[in-house]
Structure formats: structure tokens, C-alpha cells
């Protein structure tokens, strides 16, 4: 009788552990979406790498044209008649 009780008790203990292991949602969801997270990090790093290249090209153009990179670029627009010129070109091409 004592050995049967011990077997039943061990069966309950292992059943409880298996239930906790299956219902641990945080680890299971991370494993399911692991591929998506991996693609997201690759995409983000690739995007940052491309933005870094773009910033490098902009800096190179500024150096070639002897310009100074600045956060306030309002000084670059001195004569804003470009809007009128493009509107004139569009109207004349439509005629």
C-alpha cells in the first residue's frame, strides 16, 4: 500500500511540473516569434547601416562644394523663386 501511495504522489508531482512547463507563455511566445525578432533586428541594423552611408555621402558632397554642414539650414534658401519657375514650366508645357 505504501509503494502505491508513493507512485501516485510522484505521478502528481510530475504532472504538476509538466503543466507549469507547458503554460509558461513568456518563453514559448519568444520561441515562436524568434524568427520574426531575428528578421526585425536584421532589418533595423541594415536600415541604420544604409542611413550611415547616406550621411557619409551628404558629408562628402558638402566637402566637395566647400560647404559646412549645419543643423540650421535656413541660410541656404536665399531666393525662393523656384516655385514660380516650376509652375511656369508646367503651364508652358501644358500649352
Distance CA 14, CA 20 (A): 10
Distance CA 81, CA 58 (A): 25
How far lies 28's CA from each of 16, 24, 33, 50, in Å?
18, 7, 9, 34
Would you say 68 and 62 are in contact if contact means Cβ atoms under 8 Å apart?
yes
pLDDT in the model for residue 26: 54
pLDDT in the model for residue 69: 53
Average pLDDT of span 58-83: 54
Distance CA 29, CA 31 (A): 5
Convert the pLDDT of each residue in 20-43 to its tens digit.
Answer: 444 545 566 666 766 666 666 666
pLDDT in the model for residue 55: 63
pTM greater than 0.85: no
- Average of per-residue pLDDT values in the chain: 58
- Report percent pLDDT > 90 for the chain: 0
Amino acid at each position: 500500500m505504501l509503494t502505491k501511495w508513493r507512485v501516485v504522489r510522484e505521478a502528481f508531482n510530475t504532472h504538476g511540473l509538466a503543466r507549469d512547463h507547458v503554460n509558461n507563455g513568456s518563453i514559448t511566445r519568444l520561441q515562436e516569434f524568434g524568427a520574426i525578432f531575428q528578421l526585425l533586428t536584421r532589418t533595423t541594423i541594415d536600415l541604420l547601416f544604409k542611413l550611415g552611408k547616406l550621411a557619409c555621402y551628404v558629408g562628402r558632397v558638402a566637402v566637395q562644394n566647400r560647404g559646412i554642414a549645419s543643423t540650421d539650414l535656413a541660410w541656404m534658401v536665399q531666393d525662393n523663386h523656384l516655385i514660380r519657375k516650376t509652375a511656369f514650366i508646367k503651364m508652358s508645357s501644358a500649352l
